[in-house]
Copies of this chain bind each other. A is one copy, B any other.
Amino acid sequence: MNGAESLVRTLLACGVDTVFANPGTSEMHFVAALDRVPGMRVVLATFEGVVAGAADGYARMSGKPAATLLHCAPGLANGLANFHNARRGHVPIVSIVGDQATYHKPLDPLLAADTIGFASGVSAWVRTAHHPSQVGAYAAEAVQAATAPPGGVATLILPSDASWSEGGAVAGPLPSFPPAPVEESAIADAVTTLRSGEATVIILADAALRRPAIDNAARIAAATGAHLISETFNTRAAHGAGLPDIGRIPYPIDAALAVLAPYRHAILVGAHDPVAFFAYPGRPGRQLPADARVHVLARPEEDGVDALARLAAALSAPPAAMPARPRAVPVSGAVTPQAFAQTLAALLPDNAVVVDEALTFGFPLYAATAAAAPHDCLQLTGGAIGDGLPMSTGAALGAPGRRVIDVQADGSALYTVQALWTQAREKLDVTTVVLANRRYEILFGELAGVGAAAGPASRALFGLGRPDHDWVKLAAGFGVEGARAETMEQFADLFMTANRRSGPFLIELVIP
C-alpha cells in the first residue's frame, strides 16, 4: 500500500468521511487512492477559499471534521483566509496539503514555496510526512489534534513521494481528548460574584451557546439578575423563539463600549476578554470597563457546558421560564435593514441554518431573528470576509435536510463567489440572499469615524458600482437559479419560494 492509500484508509478509520478538495499534480496519488478506496465523499470546489470555508461549515454543523485537500504552497495560500476563520472559531479541520517530493524540493522548482510557513499561521498542528510509513500515523494524529479542545486546523503536509511510495500503514483512531472540567474554585468564584449584587455579565462562546448550556445559562441569569451575552462573532449559536435570547456584543466600537459599560463583573464561559476588532484613536482596546473584574469560568479548551450545569446547581437556580416573544411578522415596502431583518425572521423556515455574513445591512438581524423559528446561526468568527458562501456550502452538506440561509453582504460574497458552482453541482439546499448595496458600506462608516469626508480615492475604493454586479447573471453563470427583489414584498415572495425548493437559489436584494 502506498502512502496515499494509507492516508485515505486512516482518515476513514478515524471517522473522517468527507473531503473538500481542489487538488493539483502533487496530489495525484491521493486522488488515485480515493478512486480505489470506497467510502469517502469527495466535493470539488474551484477555488481553495471555498474548500476551506466549506470544511468549516461542514464541521460546525456535523460536529466532526472534514478533510481538505489542497495543492502545494500557493494552493494552500488561497485557503488561508478561511482557515483563519476556522482557527478563530475553534473549528476542527484536517488539512491535507500536497507538496513537492522530498528529493525534488531542494531543486527549488517554480511552484515550491514556504508551505510550513503559510500553514503555521492558521494551524494548531503542522507536520510533514517525509516517508510513506509515517503518513497513516500522522493522519491519525492530525484528527486527534484537530478535535482536541478547543478544536482547530491540523495541517498534514504530504510530499508527493511520501504519497506514491510503497510502505504505507493504516493507523487506527487515537484517543480523543474531552474538554477538561473546570476547577471547583472557578465555580465558587462565579457563585460569589453572582451573589455579590453587583452588575454582572456572563459572556458565552462556542458550545456554551447551544443546548443544554444556554438553558442553564438562562437559569443562572434568572436566579441572579446577571445578563447573558455572546461574543460579536460566534461559531454556532442556537437562536430563535423558545430559546433564551442571548444577544451579541455589537461590532461598532461605540455600541460595544456602551453595551458593556454597566458591568462591574464579567464571567467568561469559553469567551475571550472582549477586545475591539480594530484600534480606534481615543478608544480603549478592551471593551469592558477598565475597573470591571474578569472571571474565567471556563477557558475555550475547558468544559464550559459542564461548568454552567454545575454553576446552576450550586446556585440552586430553578428552571427559567422562557419569555413569550411574539413571532416576527413580515414588513412591506422599502428595503431597509430593519424591514429586511423582520421579514427574514418572520419567514425563516423551521430548523434552518442561518449563515450570517450580512455585515452592515444586517446589524438589526440578530435581534430580529430572536423572534424567528428556532435555528442555528453561524458567523464570521475570524472576521476575514468571504466566508458566507463557502460556509453555507459546507453547512448544507453537514446538516442534510435543513435549509441553509446565507445572508450575505455583496462585497464579501465576491471573495469566494465560486462556491455557488459547488452548491449547484451538489444540489445543496441553500438560499443565498445577496444584500446588494454595491459598496463596502462598513468602510464609508469607518472613514466618517476618523473624521474624513469621502474624496475621489475613497469613493473609488469603497464603491462597488460603475458597473453594478448583476448577481442573477453571476448565479446563472455558476449554474444557480436566481432572481432580483427590489421591494420587501418581492423579497418575501422569492424567499418563500426559494426555501420550498430543492437545491440552491440566489436572491439579489437591491438596496437603494
Partner-B contacts on A (CB < 8 A)? 21, 23-26, 28-29, 31-32, 34-36, 40, 42-44, 46-47, 49, 73-75, 77-78, 80-81, 84-85, 88, 100-101, 103-104, 107-111, 113-114, 117-118, 120-122, 160-161, 164, 232-233, 272, 275-279, 281, 285-286, 381-384, 386, 411, 414-415, 417-418, 421, 424-425, 442-443, 446-447, 450, 452-458, 460-462, 464, 466-479
Assuming the contacts A28-B447, A84-B77, asked whether A285 and B104 have C-beta atoms less than 8 A apart, the reply is yes
A443 touching B23 by the CB < 8 A rule? yes
For A478, the chain B residues whose CB sits under 8 A away are 467, 469, 474
Q: How many copies does the complex hold?
A: 2
22 chain-A/chain-B pairs, Cβ below 8 angstroms: A25-B277, A25-B443, A29-B450, A31-B447, A31-B461, A34-B455, A34-B458, A35-B457, A73-B84, A74-B81, A104-B285, A109-B275, A109-B285, A110-B277, A111-B277, A111-B383, A414-B421, A421-B467, A467-B478, A471-B477, A473-B473, A474-B478
For A477, the chain B residues whose CB sits under 8 A away are 469-477
CB distance from A444 to the nearest CB of B (A): 10
For A80, the chain B residues whose CB sits under 8 A away are 74, 77-78, 80, 118
By beta carbon, the residue of chain B nearest A465 is: B425
B455 touching A35 by the CB < 8 A rule? yes
Give the distance in Å from the alpha carbon of A43 to the alpha carbon of B466 in the complex: 13
Further 9 A-B residue pairs, CB within 8 A, beyond A101-B279, A164-B281, A475-B477: A31-B443, A47-B415, A75-B81, A110-B277, A111-B384, A113-B121, A114-B120, A415-B418, A467-B478
Contact residue among B42, B78, B461 (Cβ-Cβ distance under 8 Å from A81): B78
Give the distance in Å from the alpha carbon of A80 to the alpha carbon of B468 in the complex: 27
A81 touching B77 by the CB < 8 A rule? yes
CB distance from A75 to the nearest CB of B (A): 8
A476 touching B469 by the CB < 8 A rule? no
CB distance from A74 to the nearest CB of B (A): 3
B421 touching A418 by the CB < 8 A rule? no
For A161, the chain B residues whose CB sits under 8 A away are 279, 281
Give the distance in Å from the alpha carbon of A411 to the alpha carbon of B23 in the complex: 12
6 shortest interchain CB distances as A-B pairs: A35-B455, A467-B479, A474-B477, A34-B457, A74-B384, A101-B279
Give the distance in Å from the alpha carbon of A131 to the alpha carbon of B149 in the complex: 38
A417 touching B415 by the CB < 8 A rule? no
CB distance from A155 to the nearest CB of B (A): 14
Give the distance in Å from the alpha carbon of A21 to the alpha carbon of B462 in the complex: 10
By beta carbon, the residue of chain B nearest A468 is: B479
B160 touching A26 by the CB < 8 A rule? no
For A21, the chain B residues whose CB sits under 8 A away are 461
By beta carbon, the residue of chain B nearest A31 is: B458
A160 touching B110 by the CB < 8 A rule? no
A108 touching B40 by the CB < 8 A rule? no
A276 touching B460 by the CB < 8 A rule? no
For A122, the chain B residues whose CB sits under 8 A away are 113
By beta carbon, the residue of chain B nearest A455 is: B35
CB distance from A250 to the nearest CB of B (A): 14
A279 touching B104 by the CB < 8 A rule? yes
B100 touching A469 by the CB < 8 A rule? no
CB distance from A449 to the nearest CB of B (A): 8
A285 touching B469 by the CB < 8 A rule? no
Contact residue among B114, B117, B458, B479 (Cβ-Cβ distance under 8 Å from A469): B479
Give the distance in Å from the alpha carbon of A381 to the alpha carbon of B111 in the complex: 9
Assuming the contacts A164-B281, A278-B100, A477-B470, asked whether A454 and B35 have C-beta atoms less than 8 A apart, the reply is yes
Contact residue among B110, B164, B383, B452 (Cβ-Cβ distance under 8 Å from A110): B383
CB distance from A11 to the nearest CB of B (A): 13
A452 touching B35 by the CB < 8 A rule? yes
For A28, the chain B residues whose CB sits under 8 A away are 443, 446-447, 450, 452
For A110, the chain B residues whose CB sits under 8 A away are 88, 232-233, 277, 381-383
Contact residue among B42, B100, B279, B455 (Cβ-Cβ distance under 8 Å from A461): B42
A121 touching B117 by the CB < 8 A rule? yes
